Each structure stands twice: as C-alpha cells, then as structure tokens.
Structure 1
Amino acid sequence: MDQSWVHGRLFSTEHIDGVKEFMSFIQGKFSENVEILCPCARCLNQKYLCQSLVKKHILMNGMDSSYTRWIYHGESFNFDVVKHPIDVHDNADLAGSSHGANVREDGSTDLVGSSHGENVREDDNADRLEGFLGDLHAAAEEEARRDGENEDADAEPHDKESFFKIVMKEAKRQLYPGCTKFSKFAFVVKLLHMKSLYRISNSTFSAILKLLAEAFPEHNTLPKSYNEAKNLLKELGLGYESIHVCYNNCVLFRKGYAHLDKCPVCGLSRWKDEERKKIPQKVLRHFPLVPRLKRMFATKEASEQAQWHKLKRQPSEKEMTHPADGEAWQDFDREFPDFADDARNLRLGLATDGFYPFSEKNTKYSMWPVFVVPYNLPPWACIEESNFMMALLIPRPKCPGKDFDVFLEPLVEDLLELWTGVRAYDALTRRMFKLRAAILWCIHDYPALSTLSGRTTRGYFACTHCDEHPLSYGLRSKIGYFGHFRFLPEGNPLRRNNEFAGLHESNNPPSEFSTEELLAELEKVKHVRPGKRKRSELERGRVKIWSWMVSLWKLPYWHKLKLRHNLDVMHIEKNICESLIATILNIVGKTKDTAKARLDLKDLGIKKELQFREDGDSCEMPRARYTLTNDQKKDFCEFLRELKFPDGFASNISRCLNTDGTKVQGLRTHDCHILLQRILPAAMRGILDKDIYEVIAELGRFFRELCSKTLHKDVLAELKQEIPLC
C-alpha cells in the first residue's frame, strides 16, 4: 500500500487523500463500532479510540512515520510499501485530479477542504473538521505566499502573525503531554463559556484555573489566571480595546488626547484618583469590526453563507423573505452598482438599546451595547445570536442621549475603512479580495431615534413624518397629535366626516424634507458638540427639528440611504398593548382615560358624551364604552387564567393577574406580542361593542402581518392605506 502521504505536509491534498485511503482500509478490516489503536504521532499505537476520533487525530497530528507496517490494523507482513515521499514537481497530473488540487508556480498545492466535496456527507463531523482546518491552512499559505512577493501599493503590512496562523498553532498545542481530548485553545474557550453562562466572578475563575493547573500533569499549558485566558483570546482577534472617556462625555482619550490627564473641553480629571492615576472615570469597550468580518470568509461554509443573498436566494416580486427583497436594499444597489457587483460585500444593520446589568430592579446603572448584524446571510442565520457582533459597550449611569455620538467615533472609523475596502482572504476561491461593507439602517426604539439621528423626538416636531406643518396640537398638560386622517387616500369618507378636520389649516398630508433641505438643516447644527456645554444665543428661543449632526453622516453613502432608521416593533407592541389593556380595564395610574383627558375633550369641543357632567357642586365622569365593568374584568382575567399555550409559544400569562382577578400587570415584551396579535382579538369578542372590538382585531392583524416570516407586498400596501401611521 502507498504510504508516501505519511511523509507529506499536513492538510495537503496527498495527506487528506491518504488518510481517507487508510480509513477505507480500516473499514474493510474492522466493523464500524470496534475501537482501534490510534497510530497518530501522539498516541503511537498506545490507545484504543473510536474510528472517527482516530481519523481526526491523524489529520491533526499526522501518522507515526516509524509505523511502516500497519500490522495492528490488519496489514499483512508481505504487503509492499511505497516509502518515498511524493514530490509535487514529479506529479504534474495532480492538477487535473478529481480532488481539484492545483500546482502553483512555486510548487505548492492549493488545499481543498473535502468537507464540502460532492461525495461527502455534510453531517460527517470528521470531514467538517478536515475542511475547516484545511481552509485555515490554505489561508495561512496564501498569506505566506503574499508576504514573499513584492508588496503592492495597497497591500497591508504584516507586522504580526495572522489569525489563520495563530489558530493553526493553537489547534495543535496540547493541554498537557498526552492529552488527546482537548487542545489548550478548546479547553480555555469552554471554560470561558461556562464562566459567562454561570456568572462566575473573575477571582473565582482564577482560583479554578489555579486548582486545575495543580491537578493536571506537569508541563501543562493551562493559563494561570483569568487575565492570561483573556490574552489568549485577544491574540486570536477576539479581544477588545479599552478607551478612557471624559466623565461628562466630552471626548475620548485616544489619538491626540491619549496622553492627557484632563479633559480639553471641561477640564475634569481623567482619573478617579489624580495621584494614583490608575482608575479612569469611564471606560468605553471597542470591539474592532474589521477582523471579525474578515473571519466570515475564512472557511468555505462561512463564505458561501455570506454570499447566500445573491447566489442562492430566490427573488420574488410579491413577497419579502429577506432584507434583499426590500426596496431599501435594492435602492442601495442602484445607487452603488460597483458595491452590488461583488456578492461578498457586506450589508450591515446597527442595533442598540440600554439594559441594566445588575438586574431589572437596580435601575441606577445601565449600559448600552451596540451590535452589528450582517444581512448577507440566510434569513435563519441573520437572527442567530452567534452572528450578532458587539461593536461597542457604552458605560453610563443613565441614557447617554446626545453624548451617544462621541462613543460612536471608533465604530465610524471602522465603517469608513470598510467602505474603502480591506484586504481579506476568501476560502471559497482561495484568493485575496477587497472586502467592503456598509450600514443599511439602524434598529432601535423611539427614544433612541433621537440618540442615533440627532432629530428631536419630543415636543411639537416629535412626529418623524411631519417636518413641515406638523399635526401637533397643544393641550392643557401635554402635546397631542391629531389629524392622521390626512394620510388616508383621497376620497376616503373619514377625510371629511371627522371631528378633527378644523384643527389644522390644511387637510393635505404634512410634507417631509427633501435630501437637499435635510442637509441644509444639518448644516445649521454641525457645530454642536457632545458633552457638558452652555446653549448659545442662537439656540435659545428657536424650535429645532435637528439638534446636532451625528457622526454617521460622515459615511459617504449615508445621505443616499432610503431607510436610515427602523423602530423596533417589539417595543411598539409592548407600549400599545400595555396602554390598551390599562385603558380597557381602567387601571388607576396607567389608564389613558384620565380626568385631564376628559377636560381636553371639552376644550376641543368633541366627544360630548364623554365630557364631565355637572351635578350641583360636583362633576360626574361618565363611563366610556371602551371600559369594562367589574364583572367583565373578572371574565376577561378568568379567560387569561385558563389559557393554555403550546410549549415554547408563550409564557404563563396567568402569573400577571392580581389576586382579585381584575388587573393585569408585569407583562413582558413577548407577553404583549402574543396578547396583542392573538389573545386580545379573541378575548374582547362579545365583551366590547362590535365597532371597538373590530378596531382591536384590525390592530392585531396589522402587527401579525408585519411580524410574519414572509411579508406580502400587496397586503402591506393594503394595510398602509387602511391604518395611516405617523
């Protein structure tokens, strides 16, 4: 039997084919479930392992070169053996072999990860490992070849080991001498995952590592502390950069400000203790985006997924199942055809929201993570948490507000670099290419719209569709928005027969700024900077729609985007559902049907049946048709208590009912999602009047269609006409 592959290079085509031939020989001698001696360079025929694990060991460690007669694996003593290694210069016919290996001019061969071959099952774990490591080995070879050539003008400097080379090195490093189950890297990653999953403190984790290091055999490579474990991940490009921030969020202490001890704007110290100068006031954690996007093309499987939107997606004119089916994506492709030509160029989404890291009850401190989501992937992969890339982790006792812009500086620099293009390796084509990426839109709740856009979301110009002639109207204690009938199609009877027709000068829909008008408005506020400052004389007494110009406008393509901001539908559903239930059940302190609301009706001269009725020296607040009686409240709550859902469909909503069964409280976001779309339309039928019930049912249908996996464009157009939103 030909054993020349034993002396060849690991993961080369000859080595991979030789391992396959050896395992085929084993399967002919032994049944599938029989454990065999492992002949790899580490085990040396000293351990009995399952056949799949033996294959992995030989792929990773190579075959023991001194084991020339495979007598432990069924080979006869009289079997002829070819011992000399193969010289690729003497085998030019390899270029035309069925395995697709190509001989380069320098004599090296292109590696092919056979886990993606036509004759190999996708669920074969050994082949997956083979293909993954083969792709990384090919990437390392390609970079080594490029380093040896004359660098082009646009070539990247290679001042440190690449990600591919480091992974290959760590994948072969033993946890301790003789360990075959784990490499150092795999074991440390699993430990760090457990630390995050079970919330193990840093000191406890370091103590566990120290105990394991003592328990393991001598000369083990286990990190001695949590910081050493983090450094290992940082070498692989999985770390982050700590950036000190001014306490008032004026500047980031980086670049020209890196050496300063005081803020150049407000003069406040950078340190909590000026004498020791060790603990900064605030720290922004920046996770570099470019290396992670490059790794999306490090393996063939990941590279194929990153091009799914163009190579495998089936476009439909009437349905939307992927962001690429939307008008915003298609409009971007028309504006930048050179970007759209290469399917590997990434379209990204930017998402952010605040959370309380120390529990929901502790609201004194919040943090704001900023995530980047790649949309080139298939729909089921876009929503996987493993594909969400944290770009920034913003510290703040409260919402950063307008100061959010100063934290975006490192991310915007990454995006500017990605728009120009960075050199990356594509395992699918085994070639270097210029990787580009662009942000298509942002996703956030309504308050964060002001944070990421710079547009006001309060007062008379809070409506994002009413840049001119807004629908706002001043009431006794708040600002109301009336006249949404103006968004209805011409000829709709509600455009004339409604009580709000006379509140505004015109019945035409409010107009929005054009791109030129918008840029002119932003030009007026481009001087406004984050941080603690005094308002200038020009700002006082003037109602501004745009408060400042966010750094996202530095992106060359930002002004041409069709849809820059998206509101998170789950937040909207929660707000609507809570307000709807509180008003129907007339929950004190949460209902929208208050005494001030009834007085506003009198001031507007509408809904006389709901206005206060004078009864001598007192006034009576008449009961509204949309509120329930006590008996109806009990029936409604009993209906919720007896509801049964399929496993995983919804949580136990009955836990949100109070003891007397007349109040619903403590609803979570997903509870509101289910209630508004599925439960309320069924629960209110027969309890409320027909016209009120139909409105609730239509509202539930609207959100149900909006949240479906497949959006029908004709249905969306119909919903837009029937339910005007502002």
Structure 2
Amino acid sequence: MASRRNEEEGASSSTGAQQPPMIKMMDRRWIHATLFSLEYVTGVKSFMGFIRERFPKGAEILCPCHRCLNQKNSSQEEVQKHILLYGMSSTYTRWIHHGEQSEVHVLEDPVQWNAVDENSCDGRFEDMLNDLYRSQESDGNAGLAEDRDQAASQTGRNESVFAAMMEEAKRELYPGCTKLTRFSFVVKMLHMKSYYRISNSAFSAFLKLLCEAFPDFNSLPKSYEEAKKILREVGLGYISIYVCPNNCVLFRKRYEKYDTCPVCKASRWKDPEKKKVPCKVLRHFPLAPRLQRFFVSRKTAKDARWHKLKRKPDEKEMCHPADGDAWKDFDRHWPDFAADPRNLCLGLAIDGFNPFGNMSTSYSMWPVFIVPYNLPPWCCMEESNFMMALLIPGPESPGKHFDVFLQPLVEDLLELWAGVYTKDVFTGQWFYLRVAVLWCIHDYPALGTLSGRTTKGYFACLHCDKDPLSYLLRNKICYIGHRLRRNNEYSCIHGSKEKPGSFTTEEVLAELEKVRVGQKRKRAEKIVPIWGRRVCLWDLPYWPHLKLRHNLDVMHIEKNVCEALLGTILEISGKSKDTINVRLDLSDLNIKREVQLRENGNTFDIPKARYTLSKEVKFPDGYALNIGRCINADGMRGFWDSDIYKSICEFGRFFRELCSKKLNRDVLERLKEDIPVILCELEKISPQHFLM
C-alpha cells in the first residue's frame, strides 16, 4: 500500500501543477566596492568559485574586467588577476557568459538618483538655467561701443532662447507628475545610458517603446538624436567636422562644400553615389562657452581665483602648478595676463586609446583634453573639470597630420588669448576672459607627434640637438657617449669632449623656417632634419616664450620602466630587454664578457645573467592565491646581489618621491643629482637596451 501510495503521489506530481523552480538570491553589490577591500576580494573569490563549478580547471573563459569586457578569452588565473587589478565591469551583474541561468535573482546596488549632496545637480535644473542666463545678460556699462552693441544683440537672442529653455524645464513629464519634468527625465536617462554603457540603437528602441506603451508620455523624445537636441539647446553639444580620408584637410571654411580633397583628390564620402556618409568625422567641442561657465556659478567663479588669492606660496615646497618655475616665468613675460586672477591657465593633454578595449582589433582614437589649473589642487584633477576639446577619429594615429586636427582648437585658443566678453556672477561685473596653454602632457612617442620634432634615430634625445652622442649597433641606436662624472672608477678613460648643446628659442624658430612643407626627403640625403614640420601651436603668440612646452607623462614612464624591469628579471617572452641581439651587441662592444654568447660547436650557449630569477623556484598550488599577504620586503634581499637590490630600490624610491603630493625643492635637487648615478648603476648591471 505504501509503495502504491508513493507511485500515485509521484504520478500526481508529474501530471499536476509543477512546483515553481527554486530561485537563488545572488549578491552582486561587491562589484561596486573599492578595489582590494575585503568585500571586493571576497566577491572575486565567490565569482571564481562560481567559475570552477561550471568549467574544467584548464578551460579558458571570457574575462569580464573593465579592460576586456567579455571580449577576450583568458585562463582562469589571468581572469582573476584582471578582476582584482582592474575591477569587474559595473554592468556585468548577470553572469550569462559564464553559465548563469535566468532564474537567479541578482541583488545589486542601483544608481542612487535621490541622493542629494552639495555637489549634486539633481532637482536644481531651473537654478542652473537661471545662472546660465544671468551670465549672458548684457552690460550697459561696457567700455567699448561695439561691446555694448554686441552684448545687447546677444542678450536679445538669449532672452528668447532662455524663455524656451525655462518653458522646457517646467514642462511636466505627464499630466499630474510633480517629481520629474521632461527636461530632468531626459537628463537622467542620458546619464543612465552613459553609466550602463547602453548603445545608441538600444536607447532609441527603449524610448520608442516607452512612447508606445504610455500614451501620456507623448512629450518624450522618440530617439537618441532627439534627446541630444534638448541638451544642445543648453549649449552641451559639439560640432562635427568632416575630414579627408588621408587626413590632408578639414572640410570647413573654404573647403566646406567640397566633395573631394583639394590635396589628394580623395572623396570625403564613403559611397558618393548613395547616401552621403562621411569617411571621417572630427568632433570639436567649442572651448570658449565651457570656460565661460566657470563664472556662471559663484562657487566655481570663486575657485577660479584660488591660485592667486587663496594659495599660500612657499619657496621650499610645490603643491600646485602655480608654484612651479614655468608658471612664474610665464607671469614675468605677460604681467598684464597675470594681473587678473580670473584669466585661466590650461594644460593640454593627449593620448591614444582603443575604444574597443583590449581586443585584437587595431583601432586608435585620440581625445584632446583641456585641464584648467586655476582651481585648488583637490579640484584640478576631478573628472568634472577635464574638458574634451577634440575627439580625433581613427583607425590609425594621425601622425604627422596631427596639427591638421588641431586647427579648430588653436583658433579657439587665439580667440581666448585676445579675450572673450564674460560676466562674473561672483562680482556681478563683466570682464575680458583670457586663456593661455602653459604646457602639453603626453608620452614620449606623442612628443614627436605634437611638437614636430623627431624623437627617434640619432636625434632622439631632446637635449642633444648639436653633435648628439649616438652610436649605431646591429639593430638599434644607443646613446652611450655621455660624459662620466669626475670621480668615476674608470681611471683609464679620459674624456675631453664637451656635452651636446641644445637649441635656443631663436635657433628653433630658425630651424622651423627651413621646414619644407609637403616635400618628401630624398633617400640620398644623409642629414635628417630635427624638425620635420611646423605645428600650428607655434601660431600662439606666447608659445615661443614658454619655458616648458612639453611635459612627459610620468605615469607612462613609470609603467614602461616597471614592465621592462619585471620582464627582464622574470624573463617574460616579448617583454624582456635581455635578448639574443643584445648579447650580440655586447660581443661587438666587447663588454660584459661574462654574459656574452659562448660558441658550442654549431650552436651558442646563453649564459645566465645574475639579474634574472630562476624559474625552478615555484609556489605550491594555492599558496600564492593572495600573494599580497605572502610578500616580505626584507626577505627579497636574498634573491639578488646587494648591488642589484640596492639599485632597484633606489630607482623605485625616485619615482615614489617624484610623484608625491607635495614636492620639496631640496628633494628635487637631490633627485636630480641622484638619478644619473642610479641609471649608471643599472647600466652596469642590466643590458644596455634596458632604459631605451
């Protein structure tokens, strides 16, 4: 009877209504936690445990880190390292690419739209528009008649635009809605699109579905383009400039109506016979209106004076760009500019990036950023104060045509140097806002792109313009003729040659006059010109007088040095500086005989260098899972000889002191004296290509 009852219960359960599936609750809030915090590390361990339950031990999986974005397969150990170092993609909360089923309920932190703090703009759209309008009101006491007429006519246009904007800001999202207006709803939707990385087509489809599902929402934009038009009315748009496919010219001004390039005769359209789609588009964000907005708000208008009125100068310390010699030298050359603390000093930063992450696709875009330095140090480096001036299209680097793309920005800078009529709401007065770029920030390859000076070959060193001490090896040019200090240990070497000289500003201008625009160098010419072209930045009146025109990004240098150091020590293929060609160069130079290649019949033996670590010493499985707890800095001294360990530690200390928040001038002088000695010690130990 019992067995029959069980069979009946089984039959009834199989034929009757099925029980709902068990829904698992998964906490994904750790994805938004701080890197290396206990919550984040625990979450990464749970993710890797989730992976091991569904994939074999040696199987490769998609990497969901911020860099790879589920576009690249890697080993499970590599994926764990990437997530720990770079963070997991904030939008990847359902692990569908790693075997997670749809019945899992994900618990995650939503975007807190209602959290209002002193820096939040939520709920203050009308105040922002009022500030924007007050900054554009005319000044009846303007000094020049043309300024009064221009300001009055501009105000007449602004009043109608402002009335339309205020009407838009007060427009209800739907009848009876009091929490959101149409304008605030669109702004928040665009914020969500950017935050969650929603594509343009998906965003347009979502808006279209909202309009169809809720007829009362008929005031909503029906596409992404319509949503952007609302922001353009407030001045948050950009200008699209079509570019020649070969980067010859910009189709603007006199070339605006051209269909083909006047230089190379290439068509500006992808398919001239069908719908006219441009081959390349440069996005230009006008600079003057955004810099004028610093004086729309009382807070930012006050902060723009900080470097002059609130900063406490200290001759021994530097904690702000205004403490540097380059800023002080600029003030001495242009005292009328320095007299008004509201005049803005800027930095121009460029760097290429792949918009598709670390995919195999070779694509490079070049954003050009403007950074205002008048603000306090804690505000200078905020993302909200980084202003994109240009977005240069790919897929390749502009190279020698970079100054073609800089033309709209240089025109903006020329206009701002002359002065734009601006209202300061902090004082209620009108003034001429002037702007100057003090320096550019970039890596070493971009130095040649932005300056027009060669950064490779015999004249790669920026300080050796005259008689460079360069030496050609088998496959590389080395710079090995630099003068030793007097108390050197090589007493048999007596060098009497003077150090190479650098060009003065007058000599640089004379060299630029010799540049032949549009002509290629003949192969028979042995003398390679140092300056290959004259970039349009030299059109700025103050550019020849700047003390520091180009700043090398320490972040790139530190990263490259670290990769070279670790790659050489650990003998990582493709990243080690200790290669076969390097050993052959040692034989040609007849130095470091202990590591030169040794002939063994028909083959050569590669002697083990004392700066490399043995691959035979390995951790037990699972021992180095959290390697941060296993490292003992003092215990590292036994792996190398004392001179190697000391040189590497001194090199690391140099970067650490150089990147501190406060720079002491005495420390900088000491670092300037120490770094040649540190580099010489490293050159005595490491390959001659290590720092190249």
Q: Same fold (TM over 0.5)?
A: yes
1:480 and 1:636 mapped to 2: Cα distance? 42
Counterpart among 143, 165, 188 of residue 138 in structure 2: 143
1:607 corresponding residue in structure 2: 592
- Cα drift, residue 125 of structure 1: 9.4
Counterpart among 658, 668, 687 of residue 716 in structure 1: 668
Counterpart among 126, 147, 151 of residue 152 in structure 1: 147
Counterpart among 488, 492, 497 of residue 490 in structure 2: 497
Partner AA of 1:222 in structure 2: L
- Cα drift, residue 124 of structure 1: 11
Partner AA of 1:497 in structure 2: Y
2:557 corresponding residue in structure 1: 572
Q: Deviations over 1:66-91 (max 9, x none)?
A: xxxxxxxxxxxxxxxxxxxxxxxxxx
* 283-292 vs 605-614, which moves further: 605-614
Partner AA of 1:703 in structure 2: F
Partner AA of 2:158 in structure 1: E
Partner AA of 1:571 in structure 2: H
Tell me if the contact between 2:350 and 2:441 (Cα under 8 Å) persists in the aligned partners. Answer: yes
Q: Deviations over 1:381-428 (max 9, x none)?
A: 111111111111111211111111100110010000000000111110
The residue correspondences of 1:486-525 to structure 2 (distance < 5 A) are: 486=484, 491=486, 493-494=487-488, 497=490, 506-525=496-515
- Cα drift, residue 367 of structure 1: 1.0
Tell me if the contact between 1:681 and 1:693 (Cα under 8 Å) persists in the aligned partners. Answer: no
Q: Deviations over 1:559-611 (max 9, x none)?
A: 01111111111111111111111111122332211222122122222222222
Change (3 A) 1:123 1:635: closer
2:285 and 2:640 mapped to 1: Cα distance? 52
* Structure 1: gaps of 5 or more residues: 1-120, 646-653, 655-678
Tell me if the contact between 1:636 and 1:683 (Cα under 8 Å) persists in the aligned partners. Answer: no
Q: Secondary structure at the match of 1:586?
A: coil
Counterpart among 549, 558, 570 of residue 585 in structure 1: 570
Change (3 A) 1:144 1:507: closer
Partner AA of 2:549 in structure 1: R
Q: Deviations over 1:44-100 (max 9, x none)?
A: xxxxxxxxxxxxxxxxxxxxxxxxxxxxxxxxxxxxxxxxxxxxxxxxxxxxxxxxx
1:50 corresponding residue in structure 2: none
1:643 to 2:627 alignment? yes
Partner AA of 1:714 in structure 2: D
* Structure 2: gaps of 5 or more residues: 1-116, 680-690
2:524 and 2:412 mapped to 1: Cα distance? 33
Q: Deviations over 1:500-536 (max 9, x none)?
A: x67xx755432110111111111111x425xxxx615
- Cα drift, residue 155 of structure 1: 3.8
Change (3 A) 1:271 1:411: same
Q: Secondary structure at the match of 1:393?
A: strand
* 358-367 vs 389-398, which moves further: 358-367
Q: Secondary structure at the match of 1:161?
A: helix
Partner AA of 1:335 in structure 2: H
1:390 corresponding residue in structure 2: 388
RMSD between aligned alpha carbons? 3.1
Q: Secondary structure at the match of 1:350?
A: strand
The residue correspondences of 1:170-249 to structure 2 (distance < 5 A) are: 170-216=168-214, 218=216, 221-249=219-247
- Cα drift, residue 191 of structure 1: 0.7
Q: Deviations over 1:412-469 (max 9, x none)?
A: 1000000000011111011211111011111111111111000111111111111112
Counterpart among 472, 478, 493 of residue 474 in structure 1: 472
- Cα drift, residue 554 of structure 1: 0.5
> For this pair of structures, how many residues does the alignment match?
558
Q: Deviations over 1:606-665 (max 9, x none)?
A: 222222334455443222111112345x369999754338xxxxxxxx9xxxxxxxxxxx
The residue correspondences of 1:161-560 to structure 2 (distance < 5 A) are: 161=158, 168-216=166-214, 218=216, 221-276=219-274, 278-486=276-484, 491=486, 493-494=487-488, 497=490, 506-525=496-515, 527-529=516-518, 535-537=520-522, 540-560=525-545
1:688 and 1:292 mapped to 2: Cα distance? 55
Partner AA of 1:513 in structure 2: F
Counterpart among 681, 685, 688 of residue 640 in structure 2: 688
Partner AA of 1:689 in structure 2: D
Q: Secondary structure at the match of 1:206?
A: helix
Change (3 A) 1:269 1:438: same
2:653 corresponding residue in structure 1: 701
* 156-165 vs 285-294, which moves further: 156-165
1:129 and 1:225 mapped to 2: Cα distance? 22
Q: Deviations over 1:273-317 (max 9, x none)?
A: 122351111111111111100111101011011111112112111
Tell me if the contact between 1:680 and 1:696 (Cα under 8 Å) persists in the aligned partners. Answer: no
Q: Deviations over 1:321-345 (max 9, x none)?
A: 1111111111111111111111111
- Cα drift, residue 498 of structure 1: 8.1
Partner AA of 1:574 in structure 2: K
Q: Deviations over 1:479-518 (max 9, x none)?
A: 11214455x5xx4x23x6289x67xx75543211011111
Q: Secondary structure at the match of 1:180?
A: coil
1:94 corresponding residue in structure 2: none
1:126 and 1:365 mapped to 2: Cα distance? 37
Q: Secondary structure at the match of 2:370?
A: strand
Tell me if the contact between 2:126 and 2:169 (Cα under 8 Å) persists in the aligned partners. Answer: no
1:685 and 1:385 mapped to 2: Cα distance? 40
- Cα drift, residue 212 of structure 1: 2.8
1:638 and 1:338 mapped to 2: Cα distance? 66
Q: Secondary structure at the match of 1:630?
A: coil
2:579 corresponding residue in structure 1: 594
- Cα drift, residue 691 of structure 1: 0.6
1:40 corresponding residue in structure 2: none
Tell me if the contact between 1:346 and 1:374 (Cα under 8 Å) persists in the aligned partners. Answer: yes
Q: Deviations over 1:98-125 (max 9, x none)?
A: xxxxxxxxxxxxxxxxxxxxxxx97999
1:627 corresponding residue in structure 2: 612
1:333 and 1:313 mapped to 2: Cα distance? 16
Tell me if the contact between 2:447 and 2:455 (Cα under 8 Å) persists in the aligned partners. Answer: yes
Tell me if the contact between 1:366 and 1:399 (Cα under 8 Å) persists in the aligned partners. Answer: yes
- Cα drift, residue 540 of structure 1: 4.0
Change (3 A) 1:371 1:292: same
